[in-house]
Structure 1
């Protein structure tokens, strides 16, 4: 499925577009970019630029461009002529520096996670964290995990703790939850496990070879590796009442199908955060011809990053400079490098996309048609108010689940203000509040059960 080798990427087009955009930035007044949205300044290392804009850009060596925070949009919303019309603020020198670590994404992950007070050493509260790579097969493949233990607890205490499992979405990785870890790890007696799915993040990147070219084989690729990780980490045999799963976007779809097909009672509650592929589009989505062609060949933005070679990190900066703009400079810089590190890694799990979604992100195998009522756990569906995922999918699934189980509160919907698809980053405070409340409520339910059993 990896057809990226057939894609001819013209590096000169990128270089020319970068230079022309620097020229336009030089002419742009900084005040025009200021708004009420949170912003951060990204410096332009103009002395390292080459091309027609170089002399003009040197006049602004000490200047900077203000980037507005931008929520993600529907994947078909960018017309072809705008693909290279964005600014790529990272200097070529910095891009080359990042390129020198292109085969070591763990370095970028380590640098990012080191911003947390409890990694790599415990903090004053006694919280501790580790990066663990758990082998899952005889071929040496592994699942990459960031685990945070509460004060005084270690892996030896697994059976006595509650466990939150965090699963990223398509193209993502555990590092994108940077701004959530500190709040979540403050909840008493909770162990936090953030994992990279097989073929994503800093987990193994084996060739995406399936038993057969169908959705069942895609399910097995992810379900089997996830289940092996659960077993190796001694989580599989724990009572479901001790497990809370929060999964985002395509990760939510995969956790939903894992429960349906492998273990309907695999957790106490499944939080479906802006889940993908739940229902088919209710209204037609216009898909540009170029986008359809790229989609069907499994050519993704990650393909462009890899094909850009030494300028890959610069290409990523066109996205990261806006997506991480509300964070402080150091956080935004470390998240950018981390994103480049995992985007540039060999293609693997990303090639599942064309099996699950048609061009335009329309579900080929909607979760609502795959037996959603079979799940034995409670569910809650979280959507951003400006989400491009359709909240109707969660509503329809909830109706099916609640009617089947004769329980109107078994599956519920939450819409988060001031948020789009990436709730955990769009509205950090609200996301952390919602998730910590879920953790505390689960602990309270357990305490009530213990009291009743006395």
Structure 2
């Protein structure tokens, strides 16, 4: 009852909603969720994040790969299960203003965080990289950095090779949890930088305000902050032959356009993992009416999580119970909490979606038409065998890149969909280690 009263009192304040029909869609979803569990709500006292072992686990017995974002009809959504309990959901809600606590809890599963791994010498650190000089409370990029044995932030960046890992739309660096350990263990003298793009993950969440609503201004919002992060971390002074960038989905799109518009030689090689907005859809995608209306009004899926209030973590469990289902119980639970932590944070970078993609995730400004021939780096385009991204996009772009004198290959990974790094963890990690092994070894300094 408490949850239902909260919904009815707060939902009418939904930002950006001009249509009563749109509001009705979301209100129906939230009401349905609250009826699934009438457990008495007992808000936990604030403090450190409670032990994951004390909470129920939002896992499901059957693992389902990711599907196209328009493939879920409303009636199927209403009949879905939201396995996380209301009690645990409210428990998570009490820590909503500190997503870094969920990130810390998640990364603590790694053998080298927060303390160094004495067996391998690896260490790691979370950085808050301020984007404005001399401003303590300004915008910042959240970074998780892994150092190889014998190295730390005190060493010159040029003494190591560098892997930069960039998440996709709505994601965060924590989603690479299952890749950090093996990649850093088997790659010699590599410094790994996993970052949250501005307005995503645990980075700052400024209002998505543009001087002009143009493609250049939308991309500059991300490109400029990324460029500043490179400078603040000294990576702009590292020879490009020592830099490998791996980017997923919309992150891959943003990294490629960064190269086209800002610095064609920004890395030696760019690994495009299930890249988005590469070509137009070759086959028409059936987009449900309600989904198209929400999309055109730039109402992201995360609005529902935020407006669910104490039920937000329960809402997220509809997705996380499938996405993390094949992982060990404790990892799945902490990833669920982390996902909730970043999904419910203030809306910011997510509002770029409607500028770059039309309803149905069709590219408004396909990469293939953006000037791929301007890039001066090598490429690898990697798709899941059952990816809803079109592999032909990588093939068409590769033809352009090869004509300009650089190497570009396309490959598929078996038993995986859009989230290759989670769908087939071992194959993805093996691929990353192989690609890092192609770089010349940097002499220790």
Q: TM-score range with shorter-chain normalisation?
A: 0.7 to 0.9
Bigger shift: residues 129-138 or 382-391: 129-138
3-state SS of 1:331 partner = helix
Q: 1:421 to 1:66 in 2, by over 3 A?
A: closer
What's the CA shift for 1:360?
A: 0.6
Is the aligned partner of 1:149 residue 2:147?
A: yes
Q: Which residue of 2 aligns with 1:452?
A: none
Q: Which residue of 2 aligns with 1:313?
A: 313
Contact 2:415/2:423, CA 8 A, preserved across alignment: yes
CA distance in 2, matches of 1:352, 1:194: 21
CA distance in 2, matches of 1:63, 1:246: 31
Contact 2:147/2:190, CA 8 A, preserved across alignment: yes
Contact 2:59/2:329, CA 8 A, preserved across alignment: no
Structure 2, unaligned stretches of length 5 or more? 1-13, 42-55
Q: Which residue of 2 aligns with 1:118?
A: 112
Is the aligned partner of 1:14 residue 2:30?
A: yes
Q: 1:94 to 1:397 in 2, by over 3 A?
A: same
What's the CA shift for 1:211?
A: 1.9
Higher relative contact order (CA 8 A, sep 6+): 2
Contact 2:59/2:321, CA 8 A, preserved across alignment: no
Q: TM (normalized to structure 1)?
A: 0.86
Contact 2:58/2:332, CA 8 A, preserved across alignment: no
Q: Which residue of 1 aligns with 2:438?
A: 441
Between Structure 1 and Structure 2, how many residues are aligned? 407
Q: Which residue of 1 aligns with 2:191?
A: 191
Contact 1:17/1:85, CA 8 A, preserved across alignment: no
Is the aligned partner of 1:428 residue 2:425?
A: yes
Structure 1, unaligned stretches of length 5 or more? 23-45, 50-61, 448-454
Q: 1:340 to 1:276 in 2, by over 3 A?
A: same
Q: TM (normalized to structure 2)?
A: 0.88
Q: 1:369 to 1:90 in 2, by over 3 A?
A: same
What's the CA shift for 1:283?
A: 1.3
3-state SS of 1:178 partner = helix
CA distance in 2, matches of 1:13, 1:216: 36
Contact 1:4/1:303, CA 8 A, preserved across alignment: no
Q: 1:65 to 1:110 in 2, by over 3 A?
A: closer
What's the CA shift for 1:258?
A: 0.3
Which structure 2 residues correspond to residues 32-431 of structure 1 after superposition, within 5 A? Answer: 48=40, 66-123=60-117, 124-137=119-132, 138=135, 140-157=138-155, 158-186=157-185, 187-405=187-405, 410-431=407-428
Q: 1:66 to 1:164 in 2, by over 3 A?
A: closer
